[in-house]
């Protein structure tokens, strides 16, 4: 019983901390915002998506926002996949202990968490590359490279490559247009 009380207390504390993001809390001793976290803001907004995968094209919408005190990028994608409704959520943040961006992705395809990423922005900030471990199309563990490019403030692209034996094979690409 005490174990469940401890878990409930920890979850409540997490929710309270994540819902707090006002400037007064930054002044009240919250950790300073690292510049690496600010770089995630290039994703923030609502985007129209054109998804290309396995010879099929579909449309979707992606909404990205900063939460949990402004430290985490929350991505929500809705659309269709193989003719079925699709919903996915991503969480990305800066891990100073790894000097890398870390993240995860979950979606409505019914599988486990499908990705654990570790990534970096290019020096010019126009691209972001992450190495990702997750299940391949056959369900077995696989390695992927995620490449996001930001040619301008209203356009971005996203490509997933499966990496095997030193070769990269394009699995999916998405072209995003930011709404006004």
Q: What angle do CA 160, 162, 164 make, to 5 degrees?
A: 160
pTM above 0.75, yes or no: yes
Distance of alpha carbon 42 from alpha carbon 151, whole angstroms = 11
Q: Please give the pLDDT value at position 111.
A: 67
pLDDT in tens, 48-98: 999 999 899 999 999 999 999 999 999 999 999 878 899 999 999 999 999
The set of residues, in sequence order, having a beta carbon less than 8 Å from that of 71 and lying 6+ positions away, is: 33, 37, 93, 94
Determine which of 104-113, 138-147, 166-175 has the lowest per-residue pLDDT on average: 104-113
Q: Across the strands, what pairs with 72? A: 67, 93
Kindly compute the dihedral angle of the four CA atoms of residues 111, 117, 121, 125, in this order, to the nearest 10 degrees. 20
Q: Please give the pLDDT value at position 88.
A: 94
Distance of alpha carbon 18 from alpha carbon 20, whole angstroms = 5
Q: Across all residues in the chain, what is the average pLDDT?
A: 83
Cα of 35 vs its chain's centroid, Å: 18
In order of 32, 80, 145, 168, the CA distances from 163 in angstroms are 36, 25, 7, 5
Q: Please give the pLDDT value at position 112.
A: 61
pLDDT in tens, 89-132: 999 999 999 999 999 988 898 766 666 789 999 999 999 999 99
DSSP annotation of 16 reads H
Q: Please give the pLDDT value at position 12.
A: 32
| Overall average pLDDT of the 40-50 stretch | 97
Q: Please give the pLDDT value at position 22.
A: 43
Kindly compute the dihedral angle of the four CA atoms of residues 148, 150, 151, 153, in this order, to the nearest 10 degrees. 150
């Amino acid at each position: 019983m005490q174990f469940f009380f401890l878990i409930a207390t920890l979850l409540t504390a997490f929710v309270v901390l994540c819902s707090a993001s006002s400037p007064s809390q930054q002044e009240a001793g919250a950790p300073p915002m690292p510049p690496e976290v600010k770089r995630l803001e290039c994703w923030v907004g609502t985007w129209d998506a054109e998804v290309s995968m396995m010879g099929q094209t579909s449309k979707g919408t992606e909404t990205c926002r900063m939460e949990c005190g402004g430290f985490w990028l929350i991505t929500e994608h809705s659309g269709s996949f193989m003719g079925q409704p699709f919903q996915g959520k991503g969480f990305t943040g800066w891990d100073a202990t790894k000097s890398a961006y870390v993240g995860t992705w979950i979606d409505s395809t019914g599988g486990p968490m499908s990705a654990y990423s570790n990534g970096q922005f290019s020096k010019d900030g126009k691209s972001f590359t992450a190495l990702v471990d997750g299940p391949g199309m056959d369900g077995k563990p696989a390695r992927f490279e995620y490449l996001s490019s930001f040619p301008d403030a209203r356009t971005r692209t996203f490509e997933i490559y499966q990496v095997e034996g030193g070769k990269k094979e394009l699995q999916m690409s998405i072209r995003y247009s930011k709404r006004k």
